[in-house]
Amino acid sequence: MEAVTGTAFVVATILKTIVFFIILLLGVALSTYMERKVAGFMQDRSGPNRVGPLGLLQVVADGLKFILKEEVTPGAAHKKFFLLAPALALFPATVLFGVIPLGSPLPTRWGRVDMIVADVPIGFLYVLAISSLAVYGVVMAGWSSNSKYSFLGGLRGSAQMISYEIGLAMSLVPVLMLAGNVEMPVLVSMQQSFAAGPATYGMWFILPLMVSGFFFLVSGLAETNRVPFDLPEAESEIVGGYHTEYSSMKFGMFFLGEYFHLITTGALISVFFFGGWDIPFWQGDNIRVLADGTVVGDPTWWKTLLTLVAFTMKTTLFVVFFMFIRWTIPRFRYDQLMDLGWKVFVPALMVYIMLMAVAIFALDSADVSVGIGFSAALFGLNLILMLFFLYVIDSGRLVRGATARTRKKHRSGHAAMAASGSEEDRYAG
């Protein structure tokens, strides 16, 4: 089935843009409700339960509060940039959502409609380019507020986001090496299993690229500025960070931007490592559009609906996972945050990329065909590397708590006293 063209393509693109944006807004609204419910569960309380049935209208009350509150602009602020910063914070995550395939192609009487707003041939590179723009909103908000707390939050945010952008980009290099393509729908189809037709790996990339998925998950969490990576807006230290001086809907845009980034990050993890809209253990949804426009598989409207539900469930799972992390892990110290990014992630990813390049080249040289066997070999290597990283490299030696050095000095001091002192000294020690 050929793709829609001409007027039908324009109409379909406009409709997809409107529908996908509404879906994203509804996702943000439900995420704020879910965040409070998860917080209530973690803290053994009920969460919002008075505004509407089950507290569902609490989201509407929050929106009205943002809209109706008084707009306050500091007199010393740079007004143009002060107003522009919230829009820049909201823009990248919203635009990124346009290159994410949400479901299998939808057949219509006018042709095939792909469930993606912009199927750009450089989707992978587009993600890296647009995600790097988020830092400008944070920096601009901190600088334009003309406040010490805001400026400090902006500096922290710029350092953190630039640091973890490197890890984010490097963690996707093995995906590029394995797939050999940068188009987002192709990345999804490469993780599917076709009985006949195009060669695929037959399993989600999270298995043959487990280490890469772990690094992307942590780097993506750091890019959203959420706990334990919320140093740019640490309330206990710098009041509210880069958005301290913002109020009303301008602050609401930062709030929306955080949840936009959260949903987009969950969606990207699903596409890159968890098969996107692929439904596990079922080949009926395995549909791929080849370069010449040929469709492999049998697209139907109900398959499109099922794959959309599957993609939504995967993304929701990661959003909830991020929320559980927020209410489980305490905030990093700033030196720990930067050490993790530069002293752990960057060197580890450089070694990992080289090992994966050698492994893929060796499998190709051994004429191992792309499929389950190829993926299983990479899965074994990644499992060994993951265990090595978690249980050997990071056993409290590289990233450790504030009292680690103190405890070590105390132990060495006690040992010295025990070796040289009398029994009374050893007892006193």
Q: What is the DSSP string of 347-401?
A: HHHHHHHHHHHHHHHHHHHTTPPTTHHHHHHHHHHHHHHHHHIIIIITSSSSS--
Tell me the domain boundaries of the chain: 63-398, 405-429
Alpha carbons 221 and 217: distance in angstroms, whole number: 6
1 burial class (0-12, 13-18, 19+ CB within 10 angstroms)? middle
Cα–Cα distances in Å, from 248 out to 62, 76, 315? 11, 18, 29
| Residue pLDDT tens, the chain, 429 long | 677 888 888 888 899 999 888 888 888 888 988 988 888 888 888 888 888 888 888 888 888 888 888 887 877 888 888 888 888 888 888 888 889 999 988 888 888 888 898 888 888 888 888 888 888 888 888 888 888 888 888 888 888 888 888 889 999 999 999 888 888 888 888 888 776 667 788 889 999 999 999 999 999 888 887 778 877 776 667 777 788 888 888 888 888 888 888 899 999 999 999 998 999 888 888 888 776 667 888 888 899 999 999 999 999 999 999 988 888 888 887 888 888 888 888 999 999 999 999 999 999 999 888 888 888 999 999 999 988 888 766 666 555 655 555 566 666 666 666 666 555 554 454
Is residue 90 a contact partner of residue 251, using CB atoms and an 8 Å limit?
Answer: no
Alpha carbons 103 and 19: distance in angstroms, whole number: 13
Q: 115 has which bridge partners?
A: 103
Is residue 274 a contact partner of residue 177, using CB atoms and an 8 Å limit?
Answer: no
Residue 225: name the closest of 343, 92, 27 by CA: 92
CA angle 370–375–381, rounded 5-degree value:
135
Which tokens is 117 given?
């707003």
Alpha carbons 120 and 303: distance in angstroms, whole number: 23
Residue with tokens 């990992």: 352
Cα–Cα distances in Å, from 311 out to 115, 175, 262? 12, 19, 15
Alpha carbons 106 and 306: distance in angstroms, whole number: 11
- Which 3 state secondary structure label does DSSP give 415? helix
Q: What is the DSSP string of 123-143?
A: HHHHHHHHHTTHHHHHHHHHH
